[in-house]
Structure 1
Amino acid sequence: MDRYVVERVKTGIPGFDDLLGGGFPRGTTVLVTGPTGTGKTTFAVQFVYKGAELYGEPGVIVTLEERAQDLRREMLSFGWDLRKYEEEGKIAIIDGVSSVVGLPSEEKFALEDGLNVEGFLRYVYRVVKNINAKRLVVDSIPSIAIRLREEKDIREVLLRLNTILLEMGVTSVLTTEAEDPKRGRISKYGVEEYVSRGVVLLDLVEKDVELKRYLLVRKMRETRHSMKKYPFEITEDGIVVYPSGEIY
């Protein structure tokens, strides 16, 4: 009997794929979690941008925390020209912020105010199919709860979101907040990690009288992986992970 071989999706994050046997399992849903300022948005956008730049895989970014124009400007600091790939039909950014703050959106893809969960999922599905996306980012889960007024039913919302992502066959990165992962709480609601097939924690540790960034793969189905903490940096070219420099 032939052994099942998991197809891998290269993330475009130097050093990270070495921890996962070559990358994310194709079609999986990965939660990237951590406190504010640890690099979650950069990690997620790098996954989509490098997918388009290096591997010819179109991607969708659902931005629910900052306007698309602000995201584009911020990512230019890494040399990532999102608009270039938008114009080529390789990246689509869904603006989920403008309507919330009461401003008209000038974006090609924008969520309308008052969308319920089903409307949100249908819209994302339509944009994914529009550009034949292979990668998807939703930044962030807490903003979905607030945006869709479904916080009390967050587990059900996430289950439905995860199900439709798996049905679409895209490899997805969802971001969430972890206020104090050192005390064991690695997501804002305490349920996000249970409906994701993978969990990557980004955090800070004090070492030699300064704060260092580290990354931990908490869970990744279909993958043998280390449970050690590995240092990473946010460089002028984006995130770089150092798999030979485990913290412990």
Structure 2
Amino acid sequence: MSRYDVARVKTGIPGLDDLIEGGFPKGTTVLVTGPTGTGKTTFAVQFVYKGAELYDEPGVIVTLEERAQDLRREMLSFGWDLKKYEDEGKIAIIDGVSSAVGLPSEERFALEEGLNVEGFLRYIYRVVKTIDAKRLVVDSIPSIAIRLREEKNIREVLLKLNTILLEMGITSILTTEAEDPKRGKLSRYGVEEYVARGVILLDFIEKDVELKRYLLIRKMRETKHAMKKYPFEITEDGIVVYPSGEIY
């Protein structure tokens, strides 16, 4: 199959699909990495929300860094009513925070305390099947490792996660931290980028005494793409990428 025959999944992020031949390859796992504050969670949620809103594709969000109710409230600033699509069965949010901090969860979908890797993956699989999800977000990998107490075995955890995602044929975004990407360190553990089939870096660059955001596609299998830095903004409607923009 040539790359022109690859089924594509629209990202819902204006400007991005123009850079990756129309969208992510269907069924692929994409790592979105970058320092704190670059917009990784917004990027990931936009992928799921726009999938439900524009393309009638259900999606699951596994939130491991903030409570589901906080995520819903924050996304309303972009006009994204996650609850609306949850009620319609097009979005499911898995609360992975409450039990980790010893609080009961009021969410329909919530991870239990003490889950091992297999239990974690089985639960995600069940929720994906419940709403027949086509898209999945896990935010974030370091939080998986900490929550499951598996930091020493993170490569094995990620390989298992990636395998089950590929088996489900679901298109996924995993987020991670990159503390110093300019020195070549793209992820917290140094293995995440090798497991994923696509890697997108979000970062800052100083320009005119200001920090500007840029996006770099480091890897995207089955896809022809440029290795350039493209400016992007977080607007009142979400992330917008400027394919013809220049980064100096």
Superposition TM-score, scaled by structure 2 size: 0.98
Residue type of the alignment partner of 2:204: L
Q: How does 1:118-129 map to 2 (within 5 A)?
A: 118-129=118-129
Q: How does 1:183-222 map to 2 (within 5 A)?
A: 183-222=183-222
- For 1:117, the equivalent position in structure 2 comes to 117
User: How far apart in 2 are the matches of 1:53 and 1:176?
Assistant: 26
Q: How does 1:51-200 map to 2 (within 5 A)?
A: 51-200=51-200
Q: How does 1:228-239 map to 2 (within 5 A)?
A: 228-239=228-239
Could you give the per-residue CA deviations for residues 62-103 of structure 1, whole angstroms, max 9, x where no partner exists?
A: 000000000000000000000000000000000000001110
Instruction: Confirm or deny that 1:35 pairs with 2:35.
Output: yes
Could you give the per-residue CA deviations for residues 26-68 of structure 1, whole angstroms, max 9, x where no partner exists?
A: 0000000000000000000000000000000000000000000
User: How far apart in 1 are the matches of 2:81 and 2:242?
Assistant: 25
SS at 1:97's partner residue? Answer: coil
User: How far apart in 1 are the matches of 2:195 and 2:16?
Assistant: 22
Unaligned runs of 5+ in 2: none
**Displacement after TM superposition at 1:209 (Å):** 1.2
- For 2:47, the equivalent position in structure 1 comes to 47
Residue type of the alignment partner of 1:132: D
User: How far apart in 2 are the matches of 1:69 and 1:168?
Assistant: 28
User: How far apart in 2 are the matches of 1:3 and 1:175?
Assistant: 29
- For 2:243, the equivalent position in structure 1 comes to 243
Residue type of the alignment partner of 1:29: T
Instruction: Confirm or deny that 1:223 pairs with 2:188.
Output: no
User: How far apart in 2 are the matches of 1:150 and 1:3?
Assistant: 39
User: How far apart in 2 are the matches of 1:207 and 1:228?
Assistant: 17
User: How far apart in 1 are the matches of 2:203 and 2:89?
Assistant: 34
SS at 1:174's partner residue? Answer: strand
User: How far apart in 2 are the matches of 1:187 and 1:246?
Assistant: 25
Residue type of the alignment partner of 1:50: K
Residue type of the alignment partner of 1:137: V
Superposition TM-score, scaled by structure 1 size: 0.98
Residue type of the alignment partner of 1:117: V
User: How far apart in 1 are the matches of 2:211 and 2:165?
Assistant: 36
Contact 1:228–1:246, Cα closer than 8 Å, also in 2: no
User: How far apart in 1 are the matches of 2:195 and 2:73?
Assistant: 32
Aligned length: 247
User: How far apart in 2 are the matches of 1:220 and 1:195?
Assistant: 12
User: How far apart in 2 are the matches of 1:246 and 1:54?
Assistant: 29
SS at 2:101's partner residue? Answer: coil
The alignment yields a C-alpha RMSD, in angstroms, of 0.8
**Displacement after TM superposition at 1:171 (Å):** 0.1
SS at 2:127's partner residue? Answer: helix
SS at 2:100's partner residue? Answer: coil
Residue type of the alignment partner of 1:200: I
Contact 1:115–1:148, Cα closer than 8 Å, also in 2: yes
- For 1:19, the equivalent position in structure 2 comes to 19
User: How far apart in 2 are the matches of 1:142 and 1:94?
Assistant: 17
User: How far apart in 2 are the matches of 1:176 and 1:3?
Assistant: 31
Moved beyond 3 Å, runs of 4+: none
User: How far apart in 1 are the matches of 2:45 and 2:119?
Assistant: 24
**Displacement after TM superposition at 1:246 (Å):** 3.1
**Displacement after TM superposition at 1:151 (Å):** 0.4
**Displacement after TM superposition at 1:3 (Å):** 4.2
Could you give the per-residue CA deviations for residues 170-200 of structure 1, whole angstroms, max 9, x where no partner exists?
A: 0000000000000100100000000000000
Identity of aligned residues (%): 87
